[in-house]
Amino acid sequence: MEYVACNLCGSADASPYCRVGEFQIVRCNACGLLYTNPRRPASETAGIYSESYFVSKKPSELGYDDYRSHAKGLKEVFSEHLSTIEQFVRPPASIVEVGCAYGYFLQVAASRGWTVEGVEISPFASQIARENANARVHTGTLSSVRLVPLKFDSAAIWDMLEHSFDPAEDLTETNRILKPGGYLFMTIPDAGSFSSRVMGKHWYGFKKVAEHNYFFSKRTLGQLLSKTGFRLLKTRGGVWPCSMRFLATKLAPYSPAASHAAEGIVRALRIEDAVVKFRFIDMFVIARKEATR
Ligand SMILES: [Zn+2]
C-alpha cells in the first residue's frame, strides 16, 4: 500500500471519512476531495486490469463478470452520449477516448463518421478494442503513450477518471493533446449526487474502492478542471448501464445472501441480459479547453 497527498491541492492533511473493507477513504482538510489513502501502488495497475478484470470469476470484488455481455447496453448509452456531443462538435471531427476498454464507444463513433483513436491501459482490452473498432488504440496510460500535441478536436473519458492514480496528470495531458477550444466529455460517479447523499457511507461509488481511487463532486471536479486548463461548461445527470446478472452480483458487498438469491431470481426469470440504466450515480460533464493554452 502507498500513502499519497491530495491530487487536487497537494495537501497531506486529511481526515478519515469512511472505511470500506481493507481500504480507508479520506477527506482532504484543505479542499474537501475524497480519496482512497493508503491505496494499492500504481505499479500494480497493470495487474488489476488484466484479462481477469474483464472476465472475472469474482466480479463482486473487482471488475466485470464478462465485459462483452455489456456491449448492447454500453453501445446504447454511447449513442446517447454522441447525440449530446454532436450538439457541440460534429463528425468527421476527431475524438480520442481515454480508457476505451473493448472499444465499443470508438466503434459507435466511427459508424457515425467520427475520426477515432483510443488509449487503453490494459494490453488485453486494447487488442480487443483494435479488432472491434478497427481503430488506432494505444496501449498504456495517457502520459506514457505521448500523443501528438494539439491533435484532437475532442476527448472522451467514460467512467475512468475515478480509477486513475493521477487524475490531475491525466487531465493536463488531455488538455495538451486537444486543439485550443477543444471539448472534453466525461462521465464519472458524482460523490455529491442524490444517491450518495441518501446512501452516505454505503454509496455504491465507495463500494468499488478496490478500483476507485478518487470520488469527485461537481465542486472538486470543477476545481481540478480549471487547474488543468479547462472551463467546466455544464454537468447533468448521467446514465450508468448494467445487465440484471451484473446487478445481482454487485449486491454481494451489501449482502452475500441477497446477492445469491437475486442471481437465482434473475436466472429463473431469464432476464440475465436485460439492461438497466441507472440515473443519479454518474454525472455527465462537458468542459472546454481554454483557448489561451
Ligand atoms: Zn486537497
> 98 forms bridges with which residues in the sheet?
119
Residues 6+ apart with CB under 8 A from 214: 7, 33, 34, 35, 36, 161, 162, 164, 167
The pLDDT score that the predictor gives to residue 57 is 73
199 C-alpha to center of ligand 1: Å? 23
226 C-alpha to center of ligand 1: Å? 14
pTM of the model: 0.88
5 C-alpha to center of ligand 1: Å? 8
pLDDT of 293 higher than 70: no
Residues 6+ apart with CB under 8 A from 287: 183, 184, 185, 186, 225, 230, 231, 232, 233
More confident residue, 84 or 293: 84
> For 154-166, what is each residue's pLDDT tens digit?
999 999 999 999 9
> For 28-78, what is each residue's pLDDT tens digit?
999 999 999 999 888 876 677 888 888 877 776 677 777 888 888 899 999
> For 194-252, what is each residue's pLDDT tens digit?
778 888 878 878 877 778 999 999 999 999 999 999 999 999 887 776 677 767 776 77
More confident residue, 252 or 126: 126
| Contact (Cβ atoms closer than 8 angstroms) between residue 102 and residue 163 | no
- Alpha-carbon span 35 to 213, nearest angstrom: 6
> For 266-287, what is each residue's pLDDT tens digit?
787 777 777 777 666 789 999 9
157 C-alpha to center of ligand 1: Å? 22
27 C-alpha to center of ligand 1: Å? 8
Domains of the chain in sequence order: 46-240+282-289 (3.40.50.150)
7 C-alpha to center of ligand 1: Å? 7
The pLDDT score that the predictor gives to residue 286 is 98
145 C-alpha to center of ligand 1: Å? 28
For residue 113, count CB atoms less than 10 angstroms from its CB and return exposed for 0-12, middle for 13-18, buried for 19 or more: exposed
pLDDT of 135 higher than 70: yes
| Residue spans of alpha helices (H) in 70-180 | 71-85, 104-111, 123-133, 142-145, 167-177
Q: How confident is the model at residue 258 (pLDDT cuts 50, 70, 90)?
A: confident
Portion of the chain with pLDDT greater than 70, in percent: 94
143 C-alpha to center of ligand 1: Å? 22
Portion of the chain with pLDDT greater than 90, in percent: 62
In the DSSP assignment, the letter for residue 187 is E
